[in-house]
């Protein structure tokens, strides 16, 4: 690793999980579907403004859902009627129903919890390795499944802990081989979490839901007396990279470092890349049900950061990883470049774990230096 430039040159990078996501949302969304609540200028009673705002938001969202539902059910009838009689109102209803269908369909384009087909039925567990199969609850009551791989080598209580956020398909069992190599090479505990709707976790995936899942995982780790809470490192691959960046941006004092691999700037950026025809580049943000605005969140991540990029990634343009690296305000940031790294197989490239290991060594060295400095400042000289 070139510590001055922060660039690792090897061959690897990988990850996220066979997506093909995003949203080709229609430009013409009806009033009921397109209105952004944040732009409404509504007088609020001083006594309970938040309750009124919440009620108004719930009301509007319910109206949108019902309108889209009715339009979707009657779409064929609307098209036939419009073909026979025409009319701007019918055209508007058709456009609204199509926009509603596409908006709702975005989740199908982004999340693949059923790939491979047995992913919701069977989660492979590690064998011969100390581990815990844990279930936790998020703040909104969703039950999540976690696997904690325990490092049992020298000084296990002071070992770092890596929170592993996977891509948009499969489950945590599919990531166990990769996680075991992290445990061995980085001498760290590894916590893998299945998002809501994945593996044995309950619920349905959504952007806000994944953020809550990540927060709940971090909260759980912080309650463990056998884990060093000052050495929590986030790792995210592909979609998991966006989740890790968001979690780090909201918890700067609880996260020691982040490592992200083959992730993207945002879903709108990916939409413009995958669907390069004219309208996609000019769609406003409220057209996207899932946004994952990593390019904004990374600007709040001042902790040490490692960006791992596979130049042979055919899904997410490698230039996005470089842009995230450049947007990072961290004083200790590194960019690991692996020319032969593809989207899902970068971690199998030669030199991959050497790059991660060097980053972790730098992190722990700085951590020890800070502890020494704190120890000396706490001494009273008489």
3-class DSSP assignment, residue 281: helix
Q: Do 191 and 147 contact (CB within 8 A), yes or no? A: yes
pLDDT value of residue 375 = 55
Task: State the Cα torsion 356-361-364-370 to the nearest 10°.
Answer: -120
**CATH for 7-19+115-373 (3.50.50.60, 3.90.1170.50, 3.40.50.1820, 1.10.3720.10):** 3.40.50.1820
Mean of all residue pLDDT scores within the chain: 81
pLDDT value of residue 214 = 98
**Could you give the residue range(s) of every CATH 3.40.50.1820 domain in the chain?**
7-19+115-373
Asked if the bond preceding 116 is cis, omega within 30° of 0, the reply is: yes
Tens-digit pLDDT profile for residues 328-359: 999 999 999 999 999 999 999 999 999 999 99
Cα angle: 58, vertex 64, 68; to 5 degrees: 145
Across 71-95, average pLDDT: 66
pLDDT value of residue 20 = 38
pLDDT at 14 over 70: no
Q: What residues act catalytically?
A: 238, 313, 343
DSSP state of 2: B
pLDDT at 24 over 50: no
Residues facing 9 on adjacent strands: 337
Tens-digit pLDDT profile for residues 280-323: 677 788 778 899 999 999 999 999 999 999 999 999 999 999 99
- Cβ neighbours for 20, distance < 8 A, ≥ 6 positions apart: 109, 274, 315
pLDDT at 33 over 80: no
pLDDT value of residue 272 = 87
pLDDT value of residue 21 = 38
Q: Out of 87-91, 112-116, 214-218, which region has the weakest mean confidence (pLDDT)?
A: 87-91
Nearest by Cα to 12 from 360, 358, 375, 347 = 347
pLDDT at 49 over 60: no
Confidence of residue 174 (pLDDT cuts 50, 70, 90): very high
Tens-digit pLDDT profile for residues 254-278: 999 999 999 999 999 998 888 776 6
204 vs 39: CA distance, rounded Å? 28
pLDDT at 172 over 50: yes
Q: Do 95 and 25 contact (CB within 8 A), yes or no? A: no
């Amino acid at each position: 690793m070139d510590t001055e430039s922060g660039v690792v040159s090897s061959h690897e990078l990988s990850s996220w999980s066979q997506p093909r996501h995003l949203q080709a949302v229609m430009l013409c969304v009806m009033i009921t579907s397109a209105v952004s609540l944040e732009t409404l200028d509504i007088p609020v009673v001083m006594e309970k403004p938040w309750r009124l705002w919440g009620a108004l938001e719930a009301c509007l969202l319910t109206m949108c859902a019902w309108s889209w539902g009715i339009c979707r059910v009657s779409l064929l009838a609307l098209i036939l009627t419009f073909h026979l009689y025409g009319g701007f109102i019918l055209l508007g209803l058709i456009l609204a129903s199509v926009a509603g269908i596409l908006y709702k369909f975005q989740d199908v384009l982004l999340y693949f919890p059923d790939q491979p087909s047995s992913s919701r039925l069977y989660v492979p567990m590690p064998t011969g390795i100390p581990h815990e199969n844990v279930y936790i609850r998020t703040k909104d009551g969703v039950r999540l499944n976690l696997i904690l791989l325990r490092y049992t080598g020298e000084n296990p209580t002071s070992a770092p802990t890596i929170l592993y956020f996977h891509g948009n398909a499969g489950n945590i069992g599919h990531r166990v081989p990769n996680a075991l190599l992290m445990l061995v090479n980085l001498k760290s505990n590894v916590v893998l979490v299945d998002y809501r709707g994945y593996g044995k976790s309950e619920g349905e995936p959504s952007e806000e839901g994944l953020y809550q899942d990540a927060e709940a995982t971090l909260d759980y780790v912080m309650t463990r007396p056998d884990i060093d809470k000052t050495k929590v490192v986030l790792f995210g691959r592909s979609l998991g990279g966006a989740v890790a960046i968001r979690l780090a941006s909201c918890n700067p004092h609880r996260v020691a470092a982040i490592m992200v691999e083959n992730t993207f700037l945002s879903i709108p950026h990916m939409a413009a890349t995958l669907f390069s025809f004219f309208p996609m580049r000019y769609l406003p943000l409220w057209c996207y049900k899932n946004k994952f605005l990593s390019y904004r969140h990374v600007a709040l991540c001042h902790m040490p950061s490692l960006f791992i990029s596979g130049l042979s990634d055919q899904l997410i343009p490698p230039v996005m990883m470089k842009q995230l690296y450049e947007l990072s305000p961290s004083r200790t940031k590194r960019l690991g470049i692996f020319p032969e790294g593809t989207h899902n197989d970068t971690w199998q490239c030669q030199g991959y774990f050497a790059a991660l290991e060097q980053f972790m060594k730098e992190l722990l060295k700085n951590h020890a230096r800070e502890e020494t400095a704190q120890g000396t400042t706490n001494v009273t000289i008489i």
